[in-house]
Amino acid sequence: MPAIEFKMIRSVLSSAVILTSLMVAGCVGVGAESDGIRQVTVLYTNDEHGWMEGMEEGQGAANLYALWQSREGFTEDGPFLILSGGDNWTGPAISTWTQGESMVEVMNAMNYDASAVGNHEFDFGLEALKRRTAQARYPYLSANTRWKSNGAVPSDLGILPYSIITVNDVRFGIIGLTTRATPFVANPAYVADLNFIDYESALRETVPVVEENDPDILLVISHVCVAELEPLIRNTQDLEIAMMGAGHCNELAARRIGETVLLGGGYHFSSYARARFTFDTESEELLRTTFRANNYRNSNTDESVATLVSKWSQQMEVILSEEIAHLASTLPMGSEKLQQLIVNSWLQADPTADVAITNAGGIRTDLPAGLIDVRAMVALMPFDNTIIAATVTGATLEQAIDEGGRPVLGGLIRRGGEWIVERSGEPLLADQEYRVLLNSFMYAGGDNFGAIAEADPNGFDTGVNYRQPFQDWLKNQSSSRSNPLRF
């Protein structure tokens, strides 16, 4: 792999300021003659999922960026690294509708230095990913993502294995990792040509290449859950990795395992983690690392980021504010009522179908009480999945249900220990064929539903987004503020 260096050289703090902060922190053995002492602070988030406006008041991108300035002393030319564990953009409509374009622009404005590649970075296909990596002023990193054809990291998509970034005279080698579950939790059709190799193997291959660039400190940013990172850290202590950042499981964490600090930034810009490294450039020794996890709520906003978020909100308003329905009460994300309304809307839209199946993971938020607009529908079902119609036997259908993860079923109910097809009122027969609707993510093998495509590789792609029948059904109910829908 070629040496890759993003030359983001940050200004050096004065030795007097650094030494004062070290003495206040209680560092031992640092004298006034030690002019080579440098500090660099890592600010770490992950699983932002496009929540630039915030899930709650005071927790948006502009609030967090302002907090970094007031609490951490962040300045654009200061001794900071801002890093992400990936899954930047799929979420609310303000980001999903633009396939992440708005979110990358916000992260550029927040001065992110690198992001790991998360599984949801693949949600809009490889060409969209390539456009986003070209737009970003920071690299997207994943040393364990490889083309099946030649085993190379897909740099042609803008994915790099590592980056070298110099901050305050300290050279950081930053390596990225992506969850090995990506083929199952991303649309398999989009990642069919990619492998996601073993984390430790990727690190042991990549670290020697990074070390050829003479880094002072090694960091790993990853879209990998804490439970997987903990043994990885223990097994790679010999690589002298100073920090590993987590992602994917939305965990807020800050602790030490051996000589490595483990960080998790939480989710949706509602929290972050911090690690501060004190390094002696003369002895080339890492003297000290401090770390903490931070929940927050901040009434202040950074004007530049707030203006950018407002711009995207206004651009989306005409499209996303279209009124769909009014609800008397909230339909919770995991409720059977909401799930059944969705799959039954598919069956109403296609009366020739016997069964509809979607995955619970494709339903991402509550459907809130009050006005439901296009924005709410996109947040509810944010993916580019289309509805596929396949013809399979009852035996194949039952196999798919048994093997697949968290299916939401329409037109099929369990009664007396057997499956009943509601359309006919008859038991599901092993050798009889049925017309089945499912989303394209599942048809491609996502959530382990590959049995249906194996049985019918010529399934018909309707081209209809998986949220559209439900959106149409809601709109056709002709609800209003004075006459809301009640479920």
Q: Among 349, 352, 355, which residue's Cα sits nearest to residue 437? A: 355
Element of type H or E holding 34: none
Distance (Å, rounded) from C-alpha 398 to C-alpha 182?
25
The pLDDT of residue 93: 87
Do residues 332 and 266 share a domain?
no
Select from 257, 282, 313 the last residue of a domain.
Answer: 313
The pLDDT of residue 31: 36
The pLDDT of residue 148: 98
Residue 170 forms part of a structural domain: yes
Residue 209 forms part of a structural domain: yes
Do residues 387 and 440 share a domain?
yes
Do residues 341 and 457 share a domain?
yes
The pLDDT of residue 424: 94
The pLDDT of residue 24: 32
Whether the pLDDT of residue 189 is over 80: the answer is yes
The pLDDT of residue 286: 97
Do residues 182 and 119 share a domain?
yes
Distance (Å, rounded) from C-alpha 202 to C-alpha 223?
14
Distance (Å, rounded) from C-alpha 160 to C-alpha 142?
6
Tokens in use for 376? 């709410």
Which amino acid belongs to residue 339?
Q
Do residues 327 and 292 share a domain?
no
Mean pLDDT to the nearest integer, 455-472: 92
The pLDDT of residue 455: 96
Report DSSP state, residue 157: G
The pLDDT of residue 2: 42
CB of 53 within 8 A of CB of 291?
no
Mean pLDDT to the nearest integer, 181-208: 94
Whether the pLDDT of residue 183 is over 80: the answer is yes
Residue 269 forms part of a structural domain: yes
Collapsed DSSP state (helix, strand, coil) of residue 348:
helix
Do residues 433 and 371 share a domain?
yes
The pLDDT of residue 144: 98
Whether the pLDDT of residue 40 is over 70: the answer is yes
Backbone φ and ψ for 336, nearest 5 degrees, come out as -60, -35
Residue 481 forms part of a structural domain: no
What residues have CB less than 8 Å from 73, skipping those under 6 apart?
A: none
Whether the pLDDT of residue 39 is over 70: the answer is yes
Pairing between strand 370-373 and 323-327?
antiparallel
Distance (Å, rounded) from C-alpha 440 to C-alpha 358?
9
Mean pLDDT to the nearest integer, 151-167: 98
How are strands ordered across the β-sheet holding 285-295? 159-160, 140-141, 114-116, 80-84, 37-45, 271-280, 285-295
Do residues 450 and 397 share a domain?
yes
Share of the chain above pLDDT 90, in %: 86
Distance (Å, rounded) from C-alpha 287 to C-alpha 280?
7
Band (pLDDT 50/70/90 cuts) for residue 195 is very high
* Residue carrying structure tokens 């990727």: 202
Which range, 267-281, 375-389, 458-472, is most confident? 267-281
Distance (Å, rounded) from C-alpha 347 to C-alpha 290?
56
Which amino acid belongs to residue 442?
M
Whether the pLDDT of residue 301 is over 60: the answer is yes
pLDDT digits (tens, 9 = 90+) for 61-71: 999 999 999 99
Whether the pLDDT of residue 8 is over 50: the answer is no
pTM for the whole structure: 0.78
Select from 272, 295, 313 the last residue of a domain.
Answer: 313
Whether the pLDDT of residue 32 is over 60: the answer is no
**Own/partner pairs for 125-129, CB < 8 Å, 24+ apart?**
125/190, 125/384, 126/157, 126/190, 128/99, 128/100, 129/157, 129/158, 129/159
The pLDDT of residue 318: 83
- Burial class of 135 by CB neighbour count within 10 A (0 to 12, 13 to 18, 19+): middle
Q: Among 239, 286, 291, which residue's Cα sits nearest to residue 261? A: 291
The pLDDT of residue 281: 96
Do residues 329 and 305 share a domain?
no
Q: What is the four-CA torsion angle of 305, 309, 311, 314, rounded to 10 degrees?
A: -160
How many CA atoms, within 13 angstroms, populate the side-chain half-sphere of residue 131? 12
Neighbouring-strand partners of residue 325: 372
Do residues 85 and 62 share a domain?
yes
Select from 259, 293, 313 the last residue of a domain.
Answer: 313
pLDDT digits (tens, 9 = 90+) for 47-92: 999 999 999 999 999 999 999 999 999 999 999 999 999 999 998 8
Stronger pLDDT, 187 or 313, i.e. the higher one: 313
CB of 275 within 8 A of CB of 241?
no
Do residues 222 and 356 share a domain?
no
Distance (Å, rounded) from C-alpha 72 to C-alpha 101?
28
Residue 482 forms part of a structural domain: no
Domain that residue 190 falls in: 15-313
Residue 4 forms part of a structural domain: no
Whether the pLDDT of residue 25 is over 70: the answer is no
Band (pLDDT 50/70/90 cuts) for residue 19 is very low
Do residues 376 and 404 share a domain?
yes
Distances (CA, A) of 201 to 101, 195, 322, 408: 33, 13, 50, 37
pLDDT digits (tens, 9 = 90+) for 250-269: 999 999 999 999 999 999 99
Structurally, the chain folds into a number of domains equal to: 2
Do residues 292 and 335 share a domain?
no
The pLDDT of residue 5: 42
- What is the CATH classification number for the domain harbouring 379? 3.90.780.10
Band (pLDDT 50/70/90 cuts) for residue 13 is very low
The pLDDT of residue 18: 34
Residue 396 forms part of a structural domain: yes
Whether the pLDDT of residue 12 is over 50: the answer is no
Mean pLDDT to the nearest integer, 205-213: 98
Tokens in use for 189? 């059709």
The pLDDT of residue 384: 86
Whether the pLDDT of residue 17 is over 50: the answer is no
The pLDDT of residue 34: 59
CB of 273 within 8 A of CB of 291?
yes
Tokens in use for 422? 């509601």
Residue 318 forms part of a structural domain: no
Whether the pLDDT of residue 219 is over 50: the answer is yes
CB of 202 within 8 A of CB of 143?
yes
Mean pLDDT to the nearest integer, 158-174: 98
CB of 330 within 8 A of CB of 366?
yes
Distance (Å, rounded) from C-alpha 42 to C-alpha 348?
52
- Burial class of 365 by CB neighbour count within 10 A (0 to 12, 13 to 18, 19+): middle
Whether the pLDDT of residue 11 is over 60: the answer is no
Distance (Å, rounded) from C-alpha 102 to C-alpha 312?
7
- What is the CATH classification number for the domain harbouring 200? 3.60.21.10
Least confident of 142-151, 209-218, 229-238, 439-448: 439-448
Average pLDDT over the chain reads: 91
